Chain A
Amino acid sequence: MTIDWIQFSPVTAFSGGLLIGLAAAAFILFHGRIMGVSSILGGLLRAAKGDRGWRVSFLGGLIAAPLFAKLTGLAPAVRIEQSFLGLILAGLLVGFGTSLGNGCTSGHGVCGIARLSPRSIVATLTFMAFGMLTVWFMHRVQAGP
Chain B
Amino acid sequence: MIRRVSEFFVGLVFGFGLLLSGMTDPAKVISFLDVTGVWDPSLAFVMGGAVVISFIAFRLSRNWKASLMGRVIILSDLKTIDVKLILGSALFGIGWGLSGFCPGPAIVSLATGEFKSIIFMIAMIAGMGCESLYQRYRQT
A80 to B3, CA, bound (A): 35
Within 8 A of A (CB), among B34-64: 34-58, 60-61
Interface residue tally of chain A, by bracket?
35 or more
What is the CB-to-nearest-CB distance from B98 to chain A, in angstroms, rounded to a whole number? 4
**Are the C-beta atoms of B28 and A7 separated by less than 8 Å?**
yes
Beyond A29-B60, A104-B103, A123-B85, is A21–B10 a contact (Cβ under 8 Å)? Answer: no
Residues of A within 8 A of B72 (CB): 32
**Are the C-beta atoms of B11 and A41 separated by less than 8 Å?**
no
Within 8 A of A (CB), among B114-130: 114, 116-117, 119-130
Q: How many residues of B contact A (CB 8 A)?
A: 116
**Are the C-beta atoms of A10 and B45 separated by less than 8 Å?**
yes
Within 8 A of B (CB), among A1-43: 1-4, 7-10, 12-35, 37-38, 41-42
**Are the C-beta atoms of B98 and A93 separated by less than 8 Å?**
yes
Within 8 A of A (CB), among B95-140: 95-104, 106-112, 114, 116-117, 119-132, 134
**Are the C-beta atoms of B38 and A16 separated by less than 8 Å?**
no
Beyond A61-B14, A130-B93, is A2–B38 a contact (Cβ under 8 Å)? Answer: yes
| Cross-interface CB contact of B43 among A13, A24, A91, cutoff 8 Å | A13
**Are the C-beta atoms of B68 and A90 separated by less than 8 Å?**
no
| Cross-interface CB contact of B42 among A9, A30, A108, A115, cutoff 8 Å | A9
**Are the C-beta atoms of B84 and A46 separated by less than 8 Å?**
no
Residues of B within 8 A of A76 (CB): 19-20, 22, 24-25
8 extra interchain contacts, Cβ-Cβ under 8 A, other than A27-B7, A99-B132, A127-B96? A12-B20, A13-B44, A21-B57, A25-B53, A38-B103, A95-B123, A104-B92, A135-B33
> Can you sample 24 A-B contacts with CB below 8 Å?
A7-B28, A13-B42, A15-B49, A24-B53, A26-B13, A29-B61, A79-B26, A86-B99, A88-B123, A90-B94, A93-B127, A95-B124, A96-B131, A97-B92, A102-B88, A104-B103, A110-B47, A114-B50, A123-B89, A130-B90, A130-B93, A132-B33, A132-B35, A134-B94
The 3 closest A-B pairs by CB, nearest first: A95-B127, A65-B15, A61-B11
